[in-house]
Structure 1
């Protein structure tokens, strides 16, 4: 079977095998709950809260989510049992599987002396949770937006065609087709809940990002976000007036390795292939000269749109809807990718591939890579503005309940990881999927187990500071990053 990802990560394999984690020791205070009560914690969120890693939810990923790690650390300060909707899957189901495919989580494999992420085959189907639904503590669901958290259609397996239907919630919904995720979480809080973690909102932006900004409708409107967030968080707060909670904000998605693993110049060409490819654009480039002379585009845009390959690493041909629309003249809106573009990891599925057996039709060379595979600078800016607006809404709502809520600035943590300033002892956490220090799982979106430990500590720091608790922090170096290549 042709691999789903052909991204190549060049690493010295001997270095990979010899690298080991160190285990720094931190002084510990006597664990105390302070002004909070952790005896029954409820977590509400999306894929990271659920424990998705490597593009799937599977047993090991679920058990190493930040929510589970946080609950384990809270036990020393009076925390109680933390029950999960067990997935019972060793490899899970790859969330980006093409229709009809049976793929599991991604792993790193050695292929021709290089390292590539590939799915395990076969994967595991998503099966209903068979345990006690009324005793659950973790209400994390992959792909959950605020809208989906509030409507029963999300869990209605009788209407799988509904745009908000989510099999990951349907598998443990208290009453599929009638209940909502927020309603289930509220019921759990009302039944003796004492503390909660609320981290929703990421999936009101992320789908737009991973679709390369091609579908603006995937971005939630500001007013809709505010109303839905207030409705969801308000319901959680009303469930039990005695509860306190930690609220996470939205990280800068532009920093994800999903947008940096495939470089902008990922197209290698020999001198002869570059000359051959350039021949396909001779007439196109000449037409651009005439268009510029007519004044329809300026010299800067003309040069941007011209396609010229050379021997070595090249940018690849992409669609760019921000260019002057010249389609009525038969001129496509295309150009070569640039350093300012962010290339989606999924581009590796098609870059350099022959289209329908036609040797002259090559993705990224003579066939443009579609808009859904590249975040253009304008799309990156729009996403940053949207995240900033949503985070301001979140911050403002947390501020309305200063005695009961603390804001956990996940955006700040992820930004520091991207800058390379986060570490445990002398062992850094890098903004990559490369073991042993890469903080993201092999899908480039979700943190791996080690990074989830850092994330749990980040929540612990905010909670301890807010309520004078002394929940002990976990040693992130006791958790593995991505598996070494097989």
Structure 2
């Protein structure tokens, strides 16, 4: 066992009384650490089960270095000092990240993100093309695996048979990361593979994706929140199974999305009037929106008015599906206005275009408003705001507008309201918080009933998101992207240092429940041993 023997201050004083030689002086500020004990826990066969947060996923990918710094791997190293056994992970084949199938890259499973000191970049934009060598057809590892973390898994996926069968991949019913782990039993579930190892101790961190998928898609409905009864049933089934043979364990709850850099990095008002690509357009934009604002005012909807200023940062324009749709009202008012043809001519359009343009403006701005500080923007929106939506521009050209005019009306967040997928409006945030609170209540209730250790990961990440960050020893971790130390370059998953913080929080909970003493014996992870960003040259 790792034990740090240091003299007690009292012993130092006694020794000093017997020997006044300065060479034999003892530092009276030091402390003895007690011997490490496992308490009532049996760490001899530790198995972790969960999603990307368990696997070690970071920088929008899974790669060897990150897996070696997963929080379960860190825990296993500490458990080994208290009677734990070996810990096997389904390591990828390189440090590039990404997945391939029979030599062809799988769409959406890309090499990792990197930074050269600024915003996140794709690895290949920095070092050039790479060959992804982790291939789900050609070179899957052999289990069993103590780390059963599968990126992308929702709670119910842990019970799903066939989730690791490559035959189900094209139908979207299988997960490439789990395909790597099922070997000769492709239809086995994650829970079944876990139970087959007869764990004596387990960690379970699941449920994030049941909510996060809805949040990262801007609440557009393409990835709905798991319904409460399903989550309750699944979580109860998972814990009942994992504890059925007497295993003890630790579970963690779900953080609020407002604690995650993915949703707090992009400001609601990123349009800078000093930007030469935007500032000179402000008078024209205010002319166009001025016509719409008159309609909003006439219908008592002044809160929808869109106005840009030349003196401060401007909010983007968004589509808010919670607003009543005024498309017909806008179109009708414009067509009925005797000044609308002249307005079109001032914009370089023929008056005869009125029957085309009025309905287009109605469809564009029927649910439009400027964003406020209460709106949250997903991280990828930063690469979209201000760009030309070519699909929309082509559609406008097909309606008879010139390429120049079509482009002018297709600027994302400026003339073209940002779609639902880029922004979480307050009502969507309320849905997410309500579900998070419900799921976390289920997690805590079931954990308490089973006598399991419980990690309040939600509280931890709220501390990280506070303006002052989370002070931990000599480190302060905050939620700033790239520089904060807690969140990796995808804004969702922790850095390796962030995972070290998580590992210590898990050990705190284990100490409190099972009378182990990882903290008191000085056996927490040292955050300084783990990086915040990986070099682009890491291979």
Does the CA-based 8 Å contact 2:317-2:413 persist in structure 1? yes
TM-score computed with the length of structure 1 as normaliser: 0.85
1:176: how far off?
5.2
**For residue 308 of structure 2, what is the aligned residue in structure 1?**
309
User: CA–CA distance in 2 between the matches of 1:414 and 1:377?
Assistant: 21
1:93: how far off?
1.9
Q: Say whether 1:107 aligns with 2:155.
A: no
User: CA–CA distance in 2 between the matches of 1:252 and 1:27?
Assistant: 39
User: CA–CA distance in 2 between the matches of 1:232 and 1:162?
Assistant: 26
1:272: how far off?
2.0
**For residue 152 of structure 2, what is the aligned residue in structure 1?**
143
Q: Say whether 1:347 aligns with 2:381.
A: yes
Give the gaps of 5 or more residues in structure 1: 1-24, 293-301
User: CA–CA distance in 2 between the matches of 1:485 and 1:282?
Assistant: 48
Q: Which has the higher strand share?
A: 1
User: CA–CA distance in 2 between the matches of 1:100 and 1:269?
Assistant: 38
1:438: how far off?
2.4
Does the CA-based 8 Å contact 2:61-2:109 persist in structure 1? no
User: CA–CA distance in 1 between the matches of 2:497 and 2:204?
Assistant: 21
Seen in structure 2, the aligned counterparts of structure 1 residues 176 and 92 have a Cα distance that, compared at 3 Å, is farther
Q: Cα deviation per residue 1:39-92 (whole Å; 9 max; x = unaligned)?
A: 110000100100110000011111111111111111111111110001112121
Aligned pairs, number: 438
Does the CA-based 8 Å contact 1:126-1:168 persist in structure 2? no
Q: Say whether 1:45 aligns with 2:50.
A: yes
Does the CA-based 8 Å contact 2:56-2:62 persist in structure 1? yes
* Equivalent in 518, 526, 529 of residue 478 of structure 1: 529
Q: Say whether 1:424 aligns with 2:472.
A: yes
Q: Say whether 1:31 aligns with 2:36.
A: yes
User: CA–CA distance in 1 between the matches of 2:536 and 2:88?
Assistant: 32
| Superposition CA RMSD, Å | 2.3
1:432: how far off?
1.9
**For residue 12 of structure 1, what is the aligned residue in structure 2?**
none
How is 1:150-189 mapped onto 2 (pairs within 5 angstroms)?
A: 150-175=159-184, 177-188=186-197
1:426: how far off?
3.2
* Equivalent in 61, 74, 88 of residue 66 of structure 2: 61
1:102: how far off?
7.8
1:233: how far off?
2.1
Say which SS state the counterpart of residue 279 (structure 1) adopts. helix
Say which SS state the counterpart of residue 428 (structure 1) adopts. strand
From the CA coordinates, give the structure whose radius of gyration is larger. Answer: 2
**For residue 433 of structure 1, what is the aligned residue in structure 2?**
481
**For residue 223 of structure 1, what is the aligned residue in structure 2?**
229
1:99: how far off?
7.9
**For residue 421 of structure 2, what is the aligned residue in structure 1?**
372
**For residue 19 of structure 2, what is the aligned residue in structure 1?**
none
Higher RCO (C-alpha 8 Å, min separation 6): 1
User: CA–CA distance in 1 between the matches of 2:201 and 2:186?
Assistant: 28
Does the CA-based 8 Å contact 1:126-1:167 persist in structure 2? no
Q: Say whether 1:463 aligns with 2:527.
A: no
TM-score computed with the length of structure 2 as normaliser: 0.77
User: CA–CA distance in 2 between the matches of 1:414 and 1:141?
Assistant: 22
**For residue 204 of structure 2, what is the aligned residue in structure 1?**
198
